[in-house]
Amino acid sequence: MLVPVPPRPAGLAARCSAVLFSPWFRLSLLAALLAAAATVVAVHEPQRLIVDGGFPGFSGFSGAAAVVLFAAAYGLCTAALVPRPVLNLAAGALFGAPLGTVAAVAGTVLGAGIAFGLGRLLGQDALRPLLRGRWLAAGDRQLSRHGFRSMLALRLFPGVPFAVSNYGAAVSRMSWTAFLTATALGSVPNTAAYVVAGSRAATPTSPVFLVAFGFIAVSGLAAAVVAWRRRGRLRQALAAG
């Protein structure tokens, strides 16, 4: 008669692997990375390096190479929670309106892609089971079913913090294509306005600067109005449901 052999306990390597790849460990890692990035930004203010054109190696580049290097630094800084308006103004001051807009939009897409990838890899599995509240569930359905349209609206109307929209989209089932395409198209108007304002910062009374600043103010006000109206409609829909 054969006696059943009890299963051997999992080895240390297997247990460590299970912990390292668990959803909550990955979420904790994401939280630690964001906290570290926020601390570095608060202490060292890396955006000042870009504003002053003084980050390592920048002075040795010009033309297209400088634009590419700036866009890469911009993307890393936005992923590290550096405020985008400061970087947009710097892009205009360093490169002028046309090239500055190209560099800032490219950096915006890069930074959004980094945040989206980190959120999807490290946070999605742990956070999706928590989307049970009515507001969270409604937002998740909107982003998952109408990804491009929803993200385009978020990018066109300022108000939702850049990092919040990136990680919120990462937790949803929005596709990479919809996210990046909507980010690239939707960020152009407001980014260009800041870049133009930065390119004319030396002459704040010039018509171009005033128009750019006026566009920023009007778009911000419009975003507040639209958000308030949609908030009321969403409340009615939730109450009816």
> Per-residue pLDDT tens for 91-131?
998 899 999 999 999 999 999 999 999 988 887 777 766 66
Share of the chain above pLDDT 70, in %: 71
pLDDT at 184: 95
pLDDT averaged over the chain? 79
Q: Dig out the tokens for 155 from the structure.
A: 């990018």
Residue 57 predicted with pLDDT over 80? no
> Is residue 12, in this structure, part of any structural domain at all?
no
Residue 176 predicted with pLDDT over 90? yes
Count of the separate structural domains present in the chain: 1
> Is residue 68, in this structure, part of any structural domain at all?
yes
Assessment of whether the complete model's pTM goes beyond 0.85: no
Q: Which of 79-88, 175-184, 202-211, 218-227 has the lowest mean pLDDT?
A: 218-227
The answer to whether 193 touches 104, Cβ cutoff 8 Å, is no
> Is residue 158, in this structure, part of any structural domain at all?
yes
pLDDT at 235: 58
pLDDT at 46: 65
> Is residue 2, in this structure, part of any structural domain at all?
no
Residue 6 predicted with pLDDT over 60? no
> Is residue 157, in this structure, part of any structural domain at all?
yes
Residue 193 predicted with pLDDT over 90? yes
Residue 138 predicted with pLDDT over 50? yes
> Is residue 85, in this structure, part of any structural domain at all?
yes
Domain holding 236, by residue range, is: 23-240
Q: Which residue has the higher pLDDT, 214 or 9?
A: 214
Neighbours of 182 (CB within 10 A): 23
The answer to whether 155 touches 186, Cβ cutoff 8 Å, is yes
CA-only gyration radius of the chain, Å: 22
> Is residue 11, in this structure, part of any structural domain at all?
no
pLDDT at 236: 55
Tokens 């490290």 belong to: 122
Which of 77, 106, 63, 70 lies closest to 91 in space, CA to CA? 70
Alpha-carbon span 157 to 219, nearest angstrom: 6
pLDDT at 1: 47
Share of the chain above pLDDT 90, in %: 24
pLDDT at 13: 59
For the ranges 36-40, 71-75, 210-214, the maximum mean pLDDT occurs at 71-75
Q: Which residue has the higher pLDDT, 193 or 7?
A: 193
> Is residue 15, in this structure, part of any structural domain at all?
no
